[in-house]
Each structure stands twice: as C-alpha cells, then as structure tokens.
Chains A and B, each alone.
Chain A
C-alpha cells in the first residue's frame, strides 16, 4: 500500500472511532516505513479534525470522542516508540501537566483532553484525579511544563484551581507556565476571574487553546532558557 493510502486509512480509523482498526493500520504504517511523525500529523491528526468537526456539528457525541481517543491511544502506542528513533528526532509541541483537582475524581473530560493533547503532539504528564496542589506544583517544576491543565466537575472543587494558581505563583513558576482549565462549573469568565490563561469547553478547544498559548508564548518560552 502506498504511504498516502496508509495515512488516509489512519485518518479514517480515527474519524470512524475504531480502536482496533487504528492499531492495525498503525502497524501497517510501520511495516511500510511510513515515518511516525508523518503517520501522526498527516494521519491521526487529520482524523481528529474530522471527529472535531462532527462533534461541533452535533453529529458526534461524548461516546465518539472517547472512542476516537481510544483509537488514537492505540495508534500512538505503536507509533510513539518509533518517533525518538527517527532521523532528525521529534520535538513535542510543548509539555503539559494535567490532572483533576483535589477532592474531585471525575476523569472523563480530563482524560479526553490528555489524549487529544497527546495526539496533537504534546508531551503529556497525566497526574490522574484528586491531585493535590503540591503535586501540580512539583510536577510542573520537575518537567518544566509549558502548560498546566486543571479539570474539575464540582462547584465545590473548582475553587481548588485558584489554589493551584496561587501555589504556582508562590513557587515562582507562574510566569513560566500557562494555566488552562476545563470542566462543568467553569467558563471563560471564571478562568479570567481566577487568573487562568484559558478555558476550553471541550477537548478540541483545549487543544486549540494550548496551540494558541504556545504560539503567543514563544517569546517568554525563549526568554526563560
């Protein structure tokens, strides 16, 4: 099969939310010597765009997003190990620390965003759920994260986002890391109010906002080196 055909099939497997197919086509891609970065950015990411479009139009729903996320996960498991080995190497778009804030164990949205960011080319450190303020700060420092992504489902836990932002300030990290938030009780106003850099209403918006922040933050990212 030609490389273009494989890339198209990869995109289709994601757009069709089919994890098994995504895995087998990713294996085919490796066999056919399609470069992993090509497979990801000209295959998977294109498929994701289709899923996003359908979600936006109300043709796809949470179920499809989760399955498309699973499909990307399957394909990435096969493609990622090859990335480093490839000639010229592969630079992640940015480093993200993500988690659901303390006192909250809701992880569907958070895991979707983590999966989508990963598939969009970010290095993602998923701290899971019920993540303490300290864990966020430490991981942000440890991996020198570009973005800290905070999730909450409850009106009672969303306030912990403020605590994370305060702690990042106190630790002297706030000017080196952008903070994005998401979850049912948040919106753009709330994000502004607590001093976050962005709010995403769904996994696609999260990726778009991360991309924008990474672009706009080019100068500060260089400065900090």
Chain B
C-alpha cells in the first residue's frame, strides 16, 4: 500500500495495512535525530514548517517511514527576510520570531493594538502589515516551479502531501495583530471589532489558500489550519463565542477549498483542551484533528484523553498526534516510549481514523533515539489488524 492510500484510508475511517505516521518537530529536535542517525551532511531539500522553517532530508522521511510529507510554496522572489530593531527575525512564514533560550519564539507584533475605532481597522490592517501580507499575495512574483516539481515527484512516489494554511489558519492571527488582551476584550465586549478583524484575516487566508490549491492542489492530500482555542486545562474563551465568531467564516473557508478540490482533507490543528468545540470543528467540515494532547484538560470535561475522544468522535474525525511530548518523550525511557506508542494505537487505531504523530512538535529536550523509536514502535505495533 502506498503512503497516500494508507493516509487517506485512515482519514476516511477504514483500516489500511498499518497506522500511517506523520512528523511534527522543531528544528532543534531535527538536529537531535540527525546526530543520532549520523545523517549530518545529507542533502536536505524538503521544506518543513514549524516554529521556523527548515529543510529535512528525504533519507529521514524514508527511515521513519513517513506517510505524510510537507510541501510549501516559496516566498515571493523579491521578498527579503528582515531583522527588526528588537532582534526579532521576520522570515517566510510571515511571523516574527526571536531566539530565547533554545528556541525561536514568536514575538508578537500587535500592529493593530492601538486601534480603537473599528472604521480605522481595515486601512491600518493593510497599511501596517504590508510586508507580511505581501508574502501571501497571490499576485506577487514567485518562483513556484521548483515547489511544484518537488510536489509532483513526491506525489508520484506515493506520499500524502500536506501544507499549512496561510498564517496557520484564521483563529490565531487576530491576537497576533491585536495583542491577546485586546483580542479577548474584542471577543467579549467589542463584537464589531472582533468581526472586522476576523473578516480581514479570513479574506487573506481564503485568497492565498485558493492560490495554493490552484498551484499545488492536484498533489496535495491535506491542508492544515485552524488554530489554538484552548489552554492546557480549559478553553481560551467560551465555546459559544468560538462558534459565534468563527462558525460562519470557517464553514465558508472549508466550502471554498473543497469546492475547488473535493479530494482535499482539512486538518484542524488546535492545541490544548478544546474538547467542547470538537463537534463544531467536525460540523464545519474538518476531517482531521491534531495534535491531541493526551494530558490536556485531564480529569475534567475538557479532557483530550484519547480513549474517550475515540469513543465520542472516532467515527466522525481522524485523529493525528497523541504521542505525548509533555512528559513521556522528554523524560521517559525507551520502554516508556514503547508503552506510549502501544497505548495510543490501542486507544485510537481501531477502524482507522488515526495518524500516529507527536502531540505537538518534538522538542529539543527529546533525544533522537527516542524520536526514532516512536516510529520504529509504530511500525512494530501499528499493523492491522491491531493485536495489542
């Protein structure tokens, strides 16, 4: 069975030959894997998006038996990455990041935090975010041929290809632009401002994602969007507000994409304890839910416990993720990792509907050995029929 068929079967709730696997990781974790496998110096040309963009090698894709591989369009040809006076770096993902400790962290640049009057928002949105919006301008000059060529090759080799939605989806950019405090107040007390903000963001996203579908769509299996609406223990704001503000725009986004390319699967990436709105995301037309953090909302109504998620939503959405990166991967032993992989397969894999992956990007604190072990154990225990 080729990887794409395997992934699609799983997404469509059929049992393939084995549980498909995908890879989410930080650039630092990639270095750990490379060191462990002795892959330094290998050709790296598959662009991977994470907290920052970096390239990984085909050899790793093969070693881990990945079924899902990322492809991304390049930034406009005349776009220059920029370092800002605060030391933050603005690169081709359009987000500003700065190295703090181990990582490049998002530095928020709330360009619209001072806007008080909703009628000013639109002009300022385009005026102040010109550089970033240019990155996602379908009309910008862009050398797309190599990306299309690579996508075609990977497609022909049988991989399922995924790409990220513009700005990683429409839920988070409003708080990047407004600042979190402002954004929460907009949602709760200034609905006109909140609606306008979402409207502006969603326009850019729909326009760019349609362009991505036009260029890469034939080769793509999956677009990953959505965004974080939860925290470790609960939601960021009420499920009612989430529905009220995002329901309509998300539905029309899903329709716009699926109308263009009915074969495309849409993945909602949302960290944390988002259980109360999983049903909504499914109703809006999302096919995959990622990253399933097993300890989020533990022992509460918000719990992302994989066993109960499978019971409630297993026939309606495909889960991607669930291999715990908060405790097991960084602090556990290899046999803990083995137990984790077995547990998640047991909880999630029956009847399809599961793509095994970390419960978010593998982090710098996880050894290459343990990351590779996740995939080796997945090959060992993920064969259908599951017999764990």
Contacts and interface: CB of A to CB of B under 8 A. Distances in A.
Interface of A: 17-19, 55, 58-64, 66-67, 70, 102-105, 108, 130, 154-157, 159, 184-185, 201-202
A18 B302 CA distance: 26
Interface stretch (B62-70, B144-152, B199-207, B226-234): B226-234
A108 B330 contact: no
B310 to A, nearest CB: 23
A184 B102 contact: no
Give the 7 A-B CB pairs with smallest separation, nearest first. A103-B101, A63-B184, A63-B237, A184-B232, A156-B365, A155-B330, A62-B236
Residue among A63, A102, A154 facing the most chain B CB atoms (10 A cut-off) = A63
A66 B184 contact: yes
Interface centre among A64, A155, A159, A202 (most CB of B within 10 A): A155
A185 B180 contact: no
A61 B185 contact: no
Contacts of B118: none
B187 interface: yes
A66 B327 CA distance: 28
Interface in B64-82: none
Contact of A63 (B187, B301, B331, B365): B187
Contacts of A130: 100-101
A55 B231 CA distance: 13
Contact of A156 (B233, B241, B363): B363
B180 A66 contact: yes
Nearest to A103: B101
Contact of B188 (A55, A63, A102, A159): A63
Interface residues of B, number: 32
A194 B144 CA distance: 52
Given A66-B184, A156-B365, A184-B326, A105 B235 contact: no
B309 interface: no
A64 B187 CA distance: 10
Interface string B311-332: 0000000000000011100110
A67 B185 contact: yes
Contacts of A63: 184, 187-188, 236-238, 241
A105 B105 contact: yes
Given A104-B100, A156-B330, 14 more contacts: A58-B300, A59-B238, A62-B184, A62-B234, A62-B236, A63-B236, A64-B237, A105-B100, A154-B103, A155-B331, A156-B103, A156-B363, A156-B364, A184-B231
Interface in B121-158: none
A64 B188 contact: yes
A166 B237 CA distance: 37
A168 to B, nearest CB: 21
12 contacts: A58-B234, A58-B302, A62-B231, A62-B236, A64-B188, A67-B181, A154-B101, A155-B363, A156-B102, A156-B330, A156-B364, A185-B326
Nearest to B106: A105
Contacts of B330: 155-156
Contact of A67 (B100, B184, B232, B300): B184
Contact of B233 (A157, A185, A201): A201
A156 B101 contact: yes
A143 B68 CA distance: 54
Contacts of B102: 103, 156-157
Interface string B71-101: 0000000000000000000000000000011
